[in-house]
Amino acid sequence: MKLLILGGTTEATELGRALAGDARFDATLSFAGRTQRPLAQAIPTRTGGFGGIEGLAAYLRDHAIDALIDATHPFAAQMTAHAVAAAQQTGVPLLVVLRPAWVPGPGDHWTMVPGMADAAAALGPVPRRVLLTIGQKDLAPFTAAPWHDYLIRSIEPPSVALPQARFIAARGPFMLDDELALLQSERIEVIVTKNSGGGATDAKLEAARQRNLPVVMVARPQAPEAETAPDAAAALAWLARRHAASPRGV
């Protein structure tokens, strides 16, 4: 079976490792190209956009793709919407790998907000030391709150300059002890993050809980109208069922 995996997440990398060397599948992992130094992958890759819904649909047809897996970030709503539409146009089976969202527990002090502008407003009028773990593409709304002291942590350098901000380059997974040390050494008073889910970056939430710090949590986009799986293992099981049921699996 010929597979196209839309990647950029831990789940996509795990799926690629599991498929490498599996003679049942011929998989290609696609990246948007926003990360300058992506991790090495176990299966062939392509980089760059497709040219919208029509471009993705054309790729699926031209490459005779048998199944499409969207393993992009939970906040990559546009790419997921394009995947859903292209799959509907072409009749190619689609699975969206959607890791479970984080939920607050005892001891958490979360402020849930629908978007980045709301997150900036939720920080309030009093200057605070803020850890921003939202990536480098969503910083513009925080220019409306320049009185805060921001520490920006992302894989790539910031694309927007904030008046009082410093940047540290880092890629998960992050360990709890390191997160606790960062919060203490930087005297962080509040964390702003997206509800990405997963275990690679959730240590900051436990660290905030232990230090009794508030978290401004940006809610996810609406879930796609498509079949979903919570992780790479479930996606592999879906592929195995598809392969067994297809003429190529006989």
If asked whether residues 149 and 95 sit together in one domain, one would say no
SS3 label, residue 63: coil
Q: Residue 201 has what pLDDT?
A: 84
Asked whether the predicted pLDDT for residue 250 surpasses 50, the reply is no
Asked whether residue 115 falls in the same domain as residue 89, the answer is no
Together in a domain, 80 and 134: no
Residue 16: inside a domain = yes
CATH number at residue 230: 3.40.50.720
Mean pLDDT of the chain: 93
Strands 129-133 and 149-154: parallel
pLDDT at 248 over 70: no
- Whether residue 211 is found in the same domain as residue 193: yes
Percentages helix, strand, coil for the chain (3-state, rounded to 5) are: 35, 20, 45
Q: Is 45 part of a structural domain of the chain?
A: yes
Paired tokens of 151: 């520490």
Q: How confident is the model at residue 246 (pLDDT cuts 50, 70, 90)?
A: confident
Report if residue 141 sits inside a domain.
yes
Does residue 224 carry a pLDDT above 70? yes
Domain around 214: 110-218
The string of pLDDT tens digits covering residues 111-146 is 999 999 999 999 999 999 999 999 888 999 999 999
Q: Do 30 and 84 sit in the same domain of this protein? A: yes
Q: Convert the pLDDT of each residue in 33-70 to its tens digit.
A: 666 566 678 899 998 889 999 999 999 999 999 999 99
What's the pTM value of the predicted model, to 2 decimals?
Answer: 0.88
**Residue 86 lies inside a defined structural domain of this protein:** yes
Q: Where are the beta strands (DSSP E) in 9-109?
A: 26-31, 45-47, 67-70, 94-97
Mark whether 61 and 155 lie in a shared domain: no
pLDDT at 137: 85
Same domain (yes/no): 194, 233: no
187, 242: one domain: no
pLDDT in tens, 194-220: 999 988 789 999 999 999 999 999 999
Total tally of structural domains belonging to the chain: 2
Residues 69, 236 contacting (CB under 8 angstroms): no
User: Are residues 45 and 76 both part of a single domain?
Assistant: yes
The answer to the question of residue 105 being in a domain is: no
- Whether residues 152 and 243 share a domain: the answer is no
